[in-house]
Amino acid sequence: MEKTLIILKPDCMEKRLAGTVLNRFQEAGLDIVAAKLTRLQPALLREHYAHIADRPFFPELAQFMGSRPVLVVALQGEDAVATARKLLGPTDSKKAPKGTIRGDYGTDVSVNICHASDSPENAAIEISRFFAPNEVYA
């Protein structure tokens, strides 16, 4: 069984869409195996977004991501990484089709409701970034 790391971003929390978004994943057969509410600090955001930390939009992104507590969740199921990314839609909410989470609820390329791991390898790294081994019930 594959796992993936999900972050319900500040816009998702502010819009009170946590239950709605988690329901999409659960209806697709993914199980919650870890969860925590946390406010993301600058050092952790630099690590999590290392692949884009040198891009001009990063400071604004980091400010947004740290603006309120977010729900961090590990999901488990068949093809969990691809399943979650498909439900989420493309990064830019404006280009995301209706019926995807970002297409239905996102604002733009930055404020886009939810993070999901992009590969099983990165999922393992990201899950261990946010959870101790005994916090993952898999």
Catalytic residues: 115
- Residue 52 to residue 54: CA distance in whole angstroms: 5
Are the CB atoms for 130 and 5 separated by under 8 Å? Answer: yes
Is the torsion defined by CA of 125, 101, 99, 89 positive or negative?
negative
Is the torsion defined by CA of 66, 21, 79, 95 positive or negative?
negative
Number of residues that bind Mg ion (CB under 5 A): 1
Question: Smallest distance from the beta carbon of 9 to Mg ion, in angstroms?
Answer: 12
Q: Which is nearer to Mg ion, 79 or 118 (CB)?
A: 118
- Chain positions 58 to 117 lying near ligand UDP, rule: CB under 6 A, are 61, 91, 109-110, 112, 115
- Could you tell me the CA-to-CA distances from 28 to 21, 84, 120 in Å, in that order? 11, 9, 18
Question: Smallest distance from the beta carbon of 134 to Mg ion, in angstroms?
Answer: 27
Q: Tell me: does residue 13 bind ligand UDP (CB under 6 A).
A: no
Q: Tell me: does residue 4 bind ligand UDP (CB under 6 A).
A: no
Are the CB atoms for 92 and 64 separated by under 8 Å? Answer: no
Using the rule CB under 5 A, give the single segment among 15-23, 95-103, 112-120, 126-134 that binds Mg ion: 112-120
Question: Which spans of this chain sit near ligand UDP (rule: CB under 6 A)?
Answer: 52, 57, 61, 91, 109-110, 112, 115, 118
